A and B are shown apart, each in its own frame.
Chain A
């Protein structure tokens, strides 16, 4: 019997999913370079929660960490899924947007600075409704500006996943990195079931949910750029590789003709089997016909 049998990979792995937002952000930056900005001791909290009987958090569930990735300046912004479901409020949204804007200004000054956004979020924080939606719109604008200069990488590790308006932010990213435990989609199963009935989407069908929104499916259909194990070293390695890869020649969200044709080619008369769908949208095809 070999030793390997008793020490398989997963025993040696350090789970990334089990880390909180602060630990995740730190783990992605080169050792010893991480420095938190507008941290909990600055106490910039949501002004809208206490008046609604919700306890605010002194970092508003968003951690901004500046440092280096592969020796190059980078900012990592991580949402804390454990606080209000990682939802975007005025403060958490502005932290992410302002960090991207400052990274953009550095690029314009000749200091290459990339960004990694860690999205564990259901989208807009409904207690801050319109300011949450506005924050997402402004974040999207800032991603568009920054990604001209440096890659904006979206990492969704799980277990909250990335939904609602924040899925659009993921859609604008230069690269998307996911684990098998992560999900990415605009509308969660509960919302679809509520709006269009259980025949449209059975939100208790876990297998169906992962077959559609799960990281493996998104990667297999070319909607995510890397699929990683729940292993801190592997995640950090994927982020480093994509950071150093730089800005892609054409961003996924700009490949309108390709995706428009793909949608046009779909038969909409019945629901699709997610497995069969993989054969229609084969990973790697997305580069074949860019405009």
Chain B
């Protein structure tokens, strides 16, 4: 996994918010800042590696217990602050390689910490906050469910250093009893298995792929362009439903998620019991 460096989160957090540290009282792995974005003051959130984290299995950028609750409280904070005001945009910058795999994490219910963060993001979206996810690096598995997957709109860089997936290659190959080479071959033919972000885009889950010249050391122009895309995604989210229906109504979904659409129409047709006549 040497192609992935886990530095992009911090790079883009700084590029977009002009900050690079966590808020007082927060774990150093959770970066939060409020910064101007178009007409708004947006809240930016990002998870970054903290080599000195209290939990040993969460020192390399994994999303663990402190990260889950840290994100959840900073998202809930703006829901509370904006209760009777214009709902500020929330931007989740995503470069997370995995959830934390540890015994302490399981004992202290990491599933609930992750659910708490997803609850906060989802509740913000339902309350009318435009929640925008920007995938700048890896967005894997439970880490992405915790941080990013509840957004109204998901943007990702069109770049080989970007990966959205259910499980990293080695583990997926092991569990499905395949070699990595076999898995890679299969992934080229079967869209939902692919590790390529351009294939992921075909599933209709992304709002847009963004081209960036240098994702690890962005130019002022790169940053300006990404900000413009975020602003237009925010505008789009503000005039759209607060649920995730856009994902299944997208052009990509009409092609690749035909079975999902069939389930929905069949279930809706059978939902109300017809009286025998």
Interface string of A180-196 (1 = CB under 8 A from B): 00001111000110111
Shortest CB–CB separation between residue B126 and chain A, in angstroms?
A: 7
Let me know if A238 is at the binding interface, CB within 8 A: no
Which residues of chain A have C-beta atoms less than 8 A from B73's C-beta?
256-257, 260
B262 → A minimal CB distance (Å)? 6
Contact A164 B258 (CB under 8 A): no
B231 sits at the interface (CB 8 A):
no
| B88 proximal to A (CB < 8 A) | no
Query: What's the minimum C-beta distance from B112 to chain A, rounded to whole angstroms?
Result: 5
Contact A272–B104 (Cβ < 8 Å): yes
* B69 in complex: contacting residue of A35, A141, A196, A259, CB < 8 Å: A259
Question: Among the listed A130, A212, A255, which residue makes an inter-chain contact with B106, where contact means beta carbons less than 8 Å apart?
Answer: A212
Q: Which of B66-117 contact A (CB under 8 A)?
A: 66, 69-70, 72-73, 76, 98-99, 101-116
Q: Are B167 and A186 within 8 A (Cβ)?
A: no
Instruction: Decide yes or no: A260 and B258 within 8 Å by CB, A186-B114, A191-B101 being known contacts.
Output: no
B134 on interface, CB distance cutoff 8 Å:
no
B70, B72, B172 — most chain A CB neighbours (10 Å) = B72
Q: How large is the interface on A (under 10, 10 to 19, 20 to 34, 35 or more residues)?
A: 35 or more
Q: Is A246 an interface residue (CB 8 A)?
A: no
Q: Tell yes or no: A7 within 8 A of B by CB.
A: no
Assess whether B267 is in contact with A131, with CB atoms less than 8 Å apart: no
Residue B247 interfacial (CB < 8 Å): yes
A76 to chain B, nearest CB (A): 14
How far, in whole Å, are A192 and B104 apart by their CA atoms in the complex? 11
A124 adjacent to B166 (CB under 8 Å): yes
B residues near A126, Cβ cutoff 8 Å: 166-167, 172, 175-176
Q: What's the least CB distance linking A221 to chain B, in Å?
A: 8
Q: Which of A9-17, A24-32, A41-49 faces chain B? A: A41-49
Chain B residues positioned under 8 Å from A185 (CB to CB): 106, 109-111
- Which of A144, A200, A268 touches B54 (beta carbons < 8 Å)? A268
Q: Are B171 and A137 in contact (CB under 8 A)?
A: no
Known: A127-B176, A132-B166, A171-B114. A256 touches B76 (CB 8 A): yes
Q: How far is the CA of A169 from the CA of B119 in the complex (A)?
A: 10
> Is B122 part of the binding interface, using a Cβ–Cβ cutoff of 8 Å?
yes
B273: interface (CB < 8 Å): yes
Complex contacts, B276 vs chain A, CB 8 Å:
none
Q: What is the bound-complex CA distance between A212 and B105, given in angstroms?
A: 10
Q: How far is the CB of B37 from chain A (nearest CB, A)?
A: 24
Does A244 make an interface contact (CB < 8 A)?
Answer: no
Please choose the segment from B4-12, B13-21, B141-149, B218-226 that sits at the chain A interface, where 4 or more of its residues have CB less than 8 A away.
Answer: B141-149
Q: A211 to nearest B CB, angstroms?
A: 9
Chain A contacts of B111 at CB under 8 A?
Answer: 167-168, 170-171, 184-186
Residue of B nearest to A45 (CB): B259
Query: At the interface with chain A, which of B38-46, B186-194, B207-215, B232-240?
Result: B186-194
B57 at the interface (CB under 8 A from A): yes
Set B105, B258, B267: member contacting A37, Cβ < 8 A: B267
CA–CA, A201 and B141, complex, Å: 20
8 Å CB contact of B264 from A94, A200, A255: A94
Q: Is the CB of B116 within 8 A of A137?
A: no
**Cα–Cα, bound, A100→B271 (Å):** 11
Closest-CB distance, B149 to chain A (whole angstroms): 4
B192 touches A254 (CB 8 A): no
A19 interfacial contact with B, CB 8 Å: no
Chain A residue at minimum C-beta to C-beta distance from B172: A126
In contact, B145 and A91 (Cβ under 8 angstroms) = no
Within 8 A of B (CB), among A107-136: 124, 126-136
B72, B110, B190, B247: which contacts A48 (Cβ < 8 A)? B190
Chain A 158-170 near chain B by CB (<8 Å), digits 1 or 0:
0000001101111
Known: A42-B266, A131-B257, A137-B150. A52 touches B190 (CB 8 A): yes
Does B260 make an interface contact (CB < 8 A)? yes
- Are A187 and B165 in contact, with the CB atoms below 8 A? no
B118 interface residue (CB < 8 Å to A): yes
Residues of A within 8 A of B57 (CB): 196, 200
Chain A, Cβ-Cβ closest to B253: A134
Cα-based distance from A129 to B195 in the complex (angstroms): 10
**A37-B267, A191-B171 given; 13 more Cβ-contact pairs under 8 Å:** A47-B258, A91-B263, A129-B193, A133-B141, A134-B149, A140-B145, A168-B118, A171-B109, A171-B111, A200-B102, A254-B116, A256-B116, A256-B120
Q: Which A residues are closer than 8 A to B by beta carbons?
A: 35, 37-38, 42, 44-48, 51-52, 64, 66, 90-91, 94-95, 98-99, 102, 124, 126-138, 140-141, 144-145, 164-165, 167-172, 184-187, 191-192, 194-196, 200-201, 212-213, 218, 221, 223, 251-257, 259-260, 262-263, 266, 268, 271-272, 274, 277, 281
26 contacts between A and B (CB under 8 A): A48-B192, A90-B257, A94-B260, A95-B267, A98-B268, A102-B271, A124-B166, A126-B172, A129-B166, A130-B192, A131-B260, A132-B166, A133-B144, A133-B149, A137-B150, A140-B149, A168-B111, A186-B111, A187-B101, A192-B102, A212-B107, A253-B115, A253-B119, A256-B69, A266-B108, A271-B103
